[in-house]
Amino acid sequence: MKKLDALVVGAGFAGLYMLHKLRQDGFTAQVVEAGSGVGGTWFWNRYPGARCDIPSVQYSYSFDSELEQEWTWKERYSAQPEILEYLDHVADRYALRDGILFETRVTAAQWNEESRRWTVATDTGTTFDVQHLILATGALSDPKLPDLPGLENFTGPILHTAKWDASVDLTGKRVCHFGIGSSGIQTVAAIANQVGELTVFSRTPSFAVPCSNPLLSAEDSAAAKAGYPAMREIMRHSALSFATLPKSGSAKECDPAEREQRLEGAWTESTFSLLMEFDDLLFDDESNALATDFARRRLARTIADPEKARKLIPQGYPLGSRRLCTEIGFYDAMNGEHVALVDVREEPVVQITADSVDTAQGSYPADAIIFATGFDACVGAIKAINITGRGGQQIANEWADGPRAYLGLAVAGFPNMFTITGPGSPSVLSNVVVSIEQHVEWIARCLSDMRAQGQSVIEADPCAEQAWMQHAHEVAHMTVFPRANSWYQGRTADGREVFMPYVGGVGAYRAKCDAVRDAGYEGFLLG
């Protein structure tokens, strides 16, 4: 059994930086990664059209100015291959690969009361005896397949966007595609002209704004590199961790003609400009309703076929309460004559046969099926590990009624276990790389402080955890977010919703974490 100070699960943005930081700070550490390479999200999500929706100069590490200066992004929003290339470069640059065990899945972790250490098991039989268990398992890393009757009878390839098999050639094929969230919108746009026939099965349509994605010129890159220090500082302390801040002013108090003009400008500016055009859009129902109405009218102008428009224009939830999507050619693709749209709420799937998807109203021939049906978000990858904490309590049981965690960093009853971008932290409601860096640095500092003070165990105090979850719940309900059925929500056994990410803002959250540390890890029990 290998003995280490820390075991890190996952080699995405979070796991790579965590390993580097632990090594820098003199800890023995190892990463275990299920995939055969580094990159996490950007290793697995190889579907056509996959790209980020936060400018790459912002969606990248800030911890080393030399890395910032030597890496030149090619486009404003990079596609998956370029982001993966960047993360491969990071792994090589900081010589991280020899600390990563690939193609190995952590299956179980058991807290040992006597040794006050974790025993960690993997699917290859390798085991570890570690003081700290750090879960860098990703909030969007556990893909979900819908439970469709007869799926096992389908004879063609079945693809999930997050487990894409690039060897499948879709050229000229009849493809049935499920889901039009961020992944589905990108996939449909990218394959529409390649396939023979495309039938898109949607359930909840998304708001998607056009993505303007110019190549970055030498001047653009030079300006970005010169501006990194100031830009990163704004991002670390702003609410959404973007380089631009929401514009002040209320939508409902704005003159209607001016409001329309501003929203129109924001529509094409950048992914999240629409939500930041007024600073009350995510908090004030009336202001949000005005922007939601604008977005619906804007989409009606974009989608030519009125029947497709009826099915594609979101109804029944506020703009921004589900992840705002970005599109390059999605609505154009949907306008195509060889592209059909089925709303499964009106026309449920009754069965899948060897070569078709059948609904109550018709049969849609299929040579291949694509699922862009998302993830068991925020908790799936953690619950999939059989984690047994103090007194035999298991994380899957403890979180059956929705996740609980102190600051999204630690869970009461699970000593010396940290989650990076865990539930209760801003995570998926932020530029995730900013949130990852903040968590990695906080955890590394915590471990160093413990070492300096001769402490071997840290655990979230259940009272502090409860208070944080209550605070997170209250803040979420001051916004429009909980008013949509979305993957941001966990669900308790009795059907209550638990909003999982922390909505209170990245800057405020960082300040809280720093204050907790400066007060001697307030809300944690140390021993």
Chosen from ligand N01, ligand FAD, none, partner binding at 56 (C-beta under 5 to 8 Å by type): none
The amino acid present at 416, given as its one-letter code, is N
> Nearest 5°: phi and psi at 73?
-75, 140
Using CB under 6 A as the binding criterion, the count of chain residues that bind ligand N01 stands at 26
Q: Which of residues 200-229 bind ligand N01 (CB under 6 A)?
A: 201-204
- In the complex, the smallest distance separating the C-beta of residue 122 from ligand FAD, rounded to whole angstroms, is 7
Quick one: DSSP state of residue 87? Answer: H
| Closest approach of ligand FAD to the CB of residue 381, in Å | 4
Q: Which does 385 bind (CB under 5 to 8 A by kind): ligand FAD, ligand N01, none?
A: ligand FAD
3-state secondary structure of 401: coil
- How far is 256 from 250, CA to CA, in rounded Å? 12
Q: In the numeric block, which tokens belong to residue 403?
A: 């996740």
Binding ligand N01 (rule: CB under 6 A), the pick from 30, 78, 182, 489 is 182
- Please report whether residue 377 would count as binding ligand FAD according to CB under 6 A: no
Select the binding partner of residue 131 from ligand FAD, ligand N01, none (C-beta < 5 to 8 A, by kind): none
Beta carbon nearer to ligand N01, 161 or 438: 161
**According to CB under 6 A, which residues from 110 to 139 bind ligand FAD?**
136-138
Please identify which residue in 356, 373, 419, 427 interacts with ligand N01, judged by CB under 6 A.
373
The residues, any chain, with a CB within 8 Å of residue 488's CB and separated by 6 or more, are 322, 377, 378, 428, 429, 481, 499, 500, 501
Nearer to ligand FAD, 17 or 331 (CB): 17
Angle between helices 256-269 and 285-302 (to 10 degrees): 60
DSSP 459-503: EE-HHHHHHHHHHHHHHHTTSSGGGS--TTEEE-TTS-EEE-S--
Backbone φ, ψ for residue 67 (5° rounding): -65, -45
Which of ligand FAD, ligand N01, none interacts with 35 (beta carbon under 5 to 8 A by kind)? Answer: ligand FAD
Q: Beta strand 127-135 with 2-9: parallel, antiparallel or unpaired?
A: parallel
Pick the closer one to ligand FAD by CB: 90 or 446.
90
Nearest CA to 460 out of 416, 503, 490 is that of 416
How far is 319 from 307, CA to CA, in rounded Å? Answer: 21
| Residue 287 host element (H or E) | helix 285-302
Applying CB under 6 A, among 192, 275, 395, 432 the residue interacting with ligand FAD is: 432
Classify 117 as helix, strand or coil: strand
How many chain residues interact with ligand FAD (CB under 6 A)?
35
C-alpha to C-alpha distance for 412 and 404, rounded to whole angstroms: 8
At 20, which amino acid appears? H
Site for ligand N01 in 130-159 (CB under 6 A): 140, 146
- The answer to whether residues 163 and 143 touch, using CB atoms and an 8 Å cutoff, is yes
204 binds, among ligand N01, ligand FAD, none (CB under 5 to 8 A by kind): ligand N01
Stretch that binds ligand N01, among 234-242, 367-375, 447-455, 519-527 (CB under 6 A): 367-375
Contact of residue 323 among ligand FAD, ligand N01, none (CB under 5-8 Å per partner type): ligand N01
Q: Which of 52, 275 has the CB closer to ligand FAD? A: 52
Q: How, if at all, do strands 356-359 and 349-352 pair?
A: antiparallel
Choose the one of ligand N01, ligand FAD, none that binds residue 381, judging by a C-beta under 5 to 8 angstroms depending on kind: ligand FAD
Ranges within 262-321 binding ligand N01 (CB under 6 A): none
Q: Which residues bind ligand FAD (CB under 6 A)?
A: 9-15, 32-35, 40-41, 43, 45, 50, 52-54, 59, 105-106, 136-138, 140-141, 183, 381, 385, 420-421, 431-432, 436
Binding site for ligand N01 (CB under 6 A): 52-53, 140, 146, 161, 178-184, 186, 201-204, 323, 326, 344, 372-375, 428, 487
